[in-house]
Amino acid sequence: MESSDLFSPPAPIPSAQAATEIEALRTQLNAWSHSYYVLDAPTVPDAEYDRVFKALQALEAAHPELLTADSPTQRVGGKPLPEFASVRHAVPMLSIRTETDTEPTGAQNFDARIRKELGLLESDPPVEYVAEPKFDGLAMSLRYEMGVLVQAATRGDGEYGEDVTQNIRTLRQIPLRLHGGAPPVLEVRGEVYMRLADFDALNERQRENGDKTFVNPRNAAAGAVRQLDPGIAARRPLSFFAYGLGEVTPPEQGGPVFDTHYALLQTLKKWGFPVAAQVEIAQGATELIAYHQKIGAARDGLPYDIDGVVYKLNALALQRQLGFVSREPRWAVAHKYPAQEQLTSITAIDVQVGRTGKLTPVARLAPIFVGGVTVTNATLHNLFELRRKRVRVGDTAIVRRAGDVIPEVVGIIDKPRARYVPNFRMPRACPICGSKVVREKTEMNHRCSGGLFCPAQRKEAILHFAHRRAVEVEGLGDKLVEQLVDTGVIRTLPDLYKLGFTALSALDRMADKSAQNILDALEKSKNTTLPRFLFGLGIRHVGEATAKALARHFGKLDAVMDATPEQLLEVADVGPIVALAIRTFFDQPHNREVVEQLRACGIHWEEGEPAQQAPKPLAGQTFVLTGTFPTLSRDQAKDLLEAAGAKVAGSVSKKTSYVVAGEEAGSKLDKAQALGITVLDEAGMLALLQPVDAATD
């Protein structure tokens, strides 16, 4: 008896107690999610959320009878569906009449119509409206019964839509359970959309994987919503804005009473829905016009696509009085902006070299007015995407320009070509400097290997070389480099060291004193170290840590420059991709020449012997530094730690071994404490380093 007791599993928590506990955890998680996803104001560290989430999962696994569809654990998952079920909307989903006149007169026309239909005289006061952005996504109806999300449906033909509940559950911005006080039946109408940043990141990911990219955020959102596999839908980042209601419990059965559309939106916020911050009350046509202009000006900076604004009569009694014509309400109108996508023809395809050496095919276009500006060039991103979209010179392209994003060719109109047009090819030599064009097997992008020599990469290369953690030329900032390169004073990196006082002081806004300071800083930078110099060369994949490892391993620059890929691979930290990048760099005669010239200008360092492995007491440990230390600068602390074999990271994660905190340490310290990571002060850190000093004594 006794021994069997020892081996029996822990007694399960009785169901009633488990139910209370589960409820508490769900409420907590829902509150945190709402702060994070809807209010955009996180209240707990991710790790704490994960911990509570796991606790809830464990409890639900032990008590499957208590699992409900509105649990935060039920947002992801579900099996792929064979097809979507059709659902009938209790209240039809209407469309809005569109005012195609993109001039302010569009708002005047609407206001005049409303005034006439309400029988108002010219002497009557202005009508009160609500003005909202017209989100460019897809309409969604969310049905809540007893406060729980039971169904999400697309608009379909307005009467019947598709049941996409499984996918919509994965949207963190949509409450699975309403925050207090909601009526027994509530249908919330709104727009599912994809934020521009999420869309760009998604397409970037697709591009890197060589997968098909999406034409625009609306298509990407629609594709995700209509994805039969909820697992895939969950990985597509969608957002939501609420803008109205469908079926609601009537007031006589205890449903809510609203006087205005604006009050309704405020209540939706209270129930847990995101409502756009740009929603405003407007009095009469004058304020509608002002709103149209204000949002039009802000459009490029908004984090999501809009295709216009919507004006709605604010008083719900007046909305009811006006009613509908066919399937459109008389009390609302959409006032459009110029389209963000247009058709035009491709006159040529050129190649541009970016600041990092990336080669981008660019379509030259017959000028086209799109997204509010005239566009003559649009990016084609890379060779593979160009091929997949089957783009050739002479084709009719769909050009998109939205937000601050560079205009792009998102596709072509598929029609037979009148004559044969050769396929575009990437040049073998950089169109700017003639260096070899390379592409790593795992990469989609072609690059110029010219590095320091390529004028397109010149500014970047100079700034990188002069960086504080490279050879350090104090005071050489981007404005100055820009001027030096644009005026042709500097063509190659070594030219930097040939600068004279006259050339410098002739520059815009350059006082004699500043010119002298730059010359002094240049002189000072000549006395450097091999790791700083190697890092400064800006070889792809060679960051500071790799530069240090190379210097330590080979001791001398010539040994690095002449190392075979096999020898390079012997260096800790250097894998095949890095080894190839180093080899390619030094195989370019231009680059070797730049190095020689820099040495000829007087740049020098102490060369060493190839290293025998020094003891590394902190190898494998990751440190994060925060705040101000009593004696060491951040850089000094970093150097000491790295010399002892530690990695120094910029942010705290589960993988962090220690956080070193000084005065005025910020959120990194909070995060370390939340994750239970050991926090040291400067003295504590120095104590850890002690064995190194002892060994060298």
Can you read off the two tokens belonging to residue 691?
A: 């064995």
Binding to ligand IVH (CB under 6 A): which residues in 13-32?
none
- Binder to ligand IVH among 60, 99, 132, 495 (CB under 6 A)? 132
Size of the site for ligand IVH (CB under 6 A): 13
Q: Kindly write down the DSSP assignment for every residue of 395-455, as one continuous string.
A: PEEEEE--TTSPPEEEEE-----SS--PPP---SB-TTT-PBEE--TT-S-EEETTGGG-G
Give the Cα separation of 560 and 346 in Å (integer). 46
332 binds ligand IVH (CB under 6 A): yes
Q: Which is nearer to ligand IVH, 154 or 344 (CB)?
A: 154
Q: Using CB under 6 A as the criterion, what x/- string covers residues 141-180 for binding ligand IVH? A: ----------------------------------------
Q: Kindly write down the DSSP assignment for every residue of 597-666, as one continuous string.
A: HHHHTT-B----PPPPPPP-TTTT-EEEEESB-SS--HHHHHHHHHHTT-EEESS--TT--EEEE-BT--
Helix (H, G, I), strand (E, B), or coil: what is residue 536? helix
- Binder to ligand IVH among 52, 268, 295, 310 (CB under 6 A)? 310
> Residue written as tokens 């604010």?
314
Catalytic residue among 54, 134, 269, 459: 134
CB of 38 to ligand IVH, least distance (A): 17
- Binder to ligand IVH among 129, 135, 199, 533 (CB under 6 A)? 135
- Sole window of 128-136, 355-363, 423-431, 546-554 interacting with ligand IVH (rule: CB under 6 A): 128-136
Q: Contact at 8 Å (CB) between 65 and 22?
A: no
Binding to ligand IVH (CB under 6 A): which residues in 231-290?
243-244
- Sole window of 29-37, 133-141, 414-422, 585-593 interacting with ligand IVH (rule: CB under 6 A): 133-141
Can you read off the two tokens belonging to residue 330?
A: 């008389």
Q: Running DSSP on this structure, what letter comes out for residue 368?
A: E
454 binds ligand IVH (CB under 6 A): no
Q: Contact at 8 Å (CB) between 132 and 310?
A: yes
- Sole window of 49-57, 89-97, 424-432, 494-502 interacting with ligand IVH (rule: CB under 6 A): 89-97
> Residue written as tokens 């990196």?
493
Binding to ligand IVH (CB under 6 A): which residues in 173-192?
191
- Backbone phi and psi for residue 454, each to the nearest 5 degrees, phi listed first: -80, 120
Q: Which is nearer to ligand IVH, 289 or 295 (CB)?
A: 295
- Backbone phi and psi for residue 478, each to the nearest 5 degrees, phi listed first: -70, -30
654 is catalytic: no
Q: Which is nearer to ligand IVH, 100 or 696 (CB)?
A: 100
Give the Cα separation of 194 and 227 in Å (integer). 15
Give the Cα separation of 649 and 672 in Å (integer). 13
**414 Cβ contact list (under 8 Å, min separation 6):** 390
- Sole window of 64-72, 90-98, 173-181, 547-555 interacting with ligand IVH (rule: CB under 6 A): 90-98
- Binder to ligand IVH among 18, 94, 290, 503 (CB under 6 A)? 94
Give the Cα separation of 593 and 587 in Å (integer). 11
> Residue written as tokens 């210097």?
551
Q: Contact at 8 Å (CB) between 29 and 23?
A: no
134 binds ligand IVH (CB under 6 A): yes
219 binds ligand IVH (CB under 6 A): no
649 binds ligand IVH (CB under 6 A): no
- Sole window of 19-27, 91-99, 497-505, 630-638 interacting with ligand IVH (rule: CB under 6 A): 91-99
Q: Which is nearer to ligand IVH, 154 or 622 (CB)?
A: 154
CB of 102 to ligand IVH, least distance (A): 16
- Binder to ligand IVH among 139, 248, 288, 578 (CB under 6 A)? 139
- Sole window of 51-59, 65-73, 130-138, 509-517 interacting with ligand IVH (rule: CB under 6 A): 130-138
- Binder to ligand IVH among 35, 57, 74, 95 (CB under 6 A)? 95
Give the Cα separation of 136 and 511 in Å (integer). 52
Q: Which is nearer to ligand IVH, 132 or 198 (CB)?
A: 132
318 binds ligand IVH (CB under 6 A): no
List 152's β-bridge partners, or say none.
142
Contacts to ligand IVH by CB under 6 A: 94-96, 132, 134-135, 139, 191, 243-244, 310, 329, 332
Residues that are catalytic: 134
